[in-house]
Amino acid sequence: MLTTLISLGDGRSLLVDPPLFPDEARAIQDFADGKGLRIEWLLVTHAHGDHACGMAYFPEASVIAHEGFWTFWKAIELQDRRFFSQVLPGIELPILRHPNFLVGDRMSISFARDLIVRHVPGHSPDGLMVELPEEGLWIAGDTVIPLPLVSSGSIGELLHTLRGLLGRWRGESIIPGHGKVLSGEEARKAMEDNINYLVSLREAVAEAIVRGKGRDEILRIPLADFGIPGATMAGLAAWIHRENLKRAYEELSGGA
């Protein structure tokens, strides 16, 4: 996953998505120290363990998150802890603390540079992204990743968010929650590919329901049908796709 340290001038800085592992947090702290930066604020793009739990390694920093962050975290905490204990045996997620500053739809932060924080629901209900307008940078959290994941979000909301981003994209580079930094055409195409996958996913599941196929059969619709290589997201693509099929089935069958 990607973590971003933003200098705000006068030795202050804001860290977007503190890392999950203590050695990574130590390395970021050392990097900030080397640059003469105090990490005064953490901005957590959403309440998933890999983006939020690293706050434990920066106990002095004030935490900024969406106003829905805490409720969402409490709803998924057990499930998220179980997931990470399976994929990262031996790692126990640290305890989260309640954020200090809550963002609604939009917030501006102005020091030596300007930041705009926006609510971008879809991957999760509490998604935030950070824009640096002068630098042409969008720090997107998991709103833009190589293969969208909507297991604890909403396909319709993510499509609405992504279409909105694509519509006002003017060449900004995107720092996704996972993968690599995307610049120029690559950034535009990543958003377009995410949208196309979600639209095709919904169509495929809707069609299967109309044809009377059952849930188990629908959950076997292969990722290859969507032209996405299985090696995407460090081999997690097949798991992500199955989670998305479950979400699509729930949304389209009325939760049956």
Binding site for Zn ion (CB under 5 A): 48, 142
Comparison of 147 and 218: residue with beta carbon closer to Zn ion: 147
Strands (E), 151-196: 173-176
Strand order across the beta sheet in which 4-9 lies: 4-9, 12-16, 38-43, 62-66, 101-103
Q: Tell which residue, 25, 23, 5, has the closest CA to residue 15.
A: 5
Under 8 Å between Cβ of 84 and 50: yes
- Closest residue to Zn ion using C-beta atoms: 48
Comparison of 8 and 47: residue with beta carbon closer to Zn ion: 47
Token look-up 């055409």 returns 185
Q: Tell me the closest approach of the beta carbon of residue 101 to Zn ion, in angstroms.
A: 20
Q: Tell me the closest approach of the beta carbon of residue 236 to Zn ion, in angstroms.
A: 12
Q: Which tokens hold the place of 244?
A: 């998305």
Q: Tell me the closest approach of the beta carbon of residue 20 to Zn ion, in angstroms.
A: 11
Comparison of 142 and 172: residue with beta carbon closer to Zn ion: 142
Comparison of 48 and 208: residue with beta carbon closer to Zn ion: 48
Pairing of strands 4-9, 12-16: antiparallel
Token look-up 């293969």 returns 147
Q: Tell me the closest approach of the beta carbon of residue 6 to Zn ion, in angstroms.
A: 20
**Positive or negative: CA dihedral 152, 156, 161, 163:** positive
DSSP string over 85-132 = HHHSTT--PPPP---SEEE-SEEEEESSSEEEEEE--SSSTT-EEEEE
Q: Tell me the closest approach of the beta carbon of residue 243 to Zn ion, in angstroms.
A: 11
Q: How many CB atoms lie within 10 A of CB 178?
A: 18
Comparison of 144 and 195: residue with beta carbon closer to Zn ion: 144
Comparison of 48 and 241: residue with beta carbon closer to Zn ion: 48
Phi first, then psi, for residue 200 (nearest 5°) are -65, -40
Comparison of 8 and 158: residue with beta carbon closer to Zn ion: 158
Q: Tell me the closest approach of the beta carbon of residue 65 to Zn ion, in angstroms.
A: 13
Q: Tell me the closest approach of the beta carbon of residue 48 to Zn ion, in angstroms.
A: 3
